[in-house]
């Protein structure tokens, strides 16, 4: 039997592909875990509240509570939240004098919609912080401290393989 000669120009690139591919996944973006829950204010479920989870690293996740206060969070168009520590905000407004945050009552259908909402919310917060736009501020149904990560006091840890159901008592 004659030995088989293998061209090193083929072996080296193939070996590099195998080694580099071993740590890669076919999934794109951060790993997400399913997250749901309920928001209560003064012991009662609150409907129409926007729930936002802000991870230490990665994109934000959003959801809106239904009539019984239940929510399911999505990051862009994908169900779930980035795994790890998160801070949360809750915003619940009555039909105030403006539709400054029009579109909040529905799940974003794309990352672009989620980004546009967050941009609009940031612009509104900046306007209010500068003393402008107080006449367009919707009437908050809950204390406004819950609308900012710095003051909400709401933080959680999203587990990769665990129970990520949260009852948020405000």
Q: What is the CA radius of gyration of the chain?
A: 22
pLDDT for 51-71, tens place per residue? 999 999 899 999 999 989 999
Contact by Cβ (8 Å): 160, 29: no
CA atoms within 13 A on the CB side of 77: 5
Q: Which residues of the chain have pLDDT under 70?
A: 1-28, 95-111, 113-115, 117-119, 121-138
Report the SS3 class of residue 84: strand
What was the pLDDT predicted at 136? 55
What was the pLDDT predicted at 118? 66
What was the pLDDT predicted at 98? 35
| 3-state DSSP helix/strand/coil % of the chain, to nearest 5 | 25, 30, 45
Q: Where are the domains of the chain?
A: 32-169
Other C-beta atoms lying within 10 Å of the C-beta of residue 152: 20
What was the pLDDT predicted at 170? 92
CATH superfamily ID and name for 32-169: Immunoglobulins (2.60.40.10)
What was the pLDDT predicted at 112? 73
What was the pLDDT predicted at 81? 96
Residue 93: which of 132, 126, 136, 54 has the closest Cα?
136
The first and second tokens of residue 133, run together, are 């736009």
């Amino acid at each position: 039997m004659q030995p088989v000669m293998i061209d090193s120009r083929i072996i080296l690139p193939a070996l590099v592909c195998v080694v580099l591919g071993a740590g890669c996944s076919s999934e794109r973006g951060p790993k997400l875990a399913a997250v749901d829950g309920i928001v209560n204010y003064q012991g009662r479920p609150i409907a129409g509240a926007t729930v936002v989870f802000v991870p230490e690293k990665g994109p934000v996740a959003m959801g809106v509570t239904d009539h019984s206060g239940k929510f399911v969070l999505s990051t862009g168009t994908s169900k779930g939240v980035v795994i790890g520590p998160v801070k949360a905000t809750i915003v619940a407004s009555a039909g105030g004098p403006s539709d400054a945050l029009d579109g909040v009552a529905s799940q974003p259908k794309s990352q672009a919609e989620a980004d546009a909402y967050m941009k609009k919310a940031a612009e509104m917060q900046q306007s209010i912080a500068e003393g402008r736009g107080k006449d367009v501020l919707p009437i908050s149904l809950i204390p406004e401290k819950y609308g900012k990560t710095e003051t909400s006091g709401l933080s959680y840890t999203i587990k990769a393989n665990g129970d990520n159901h949260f009852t948020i008592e405000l």
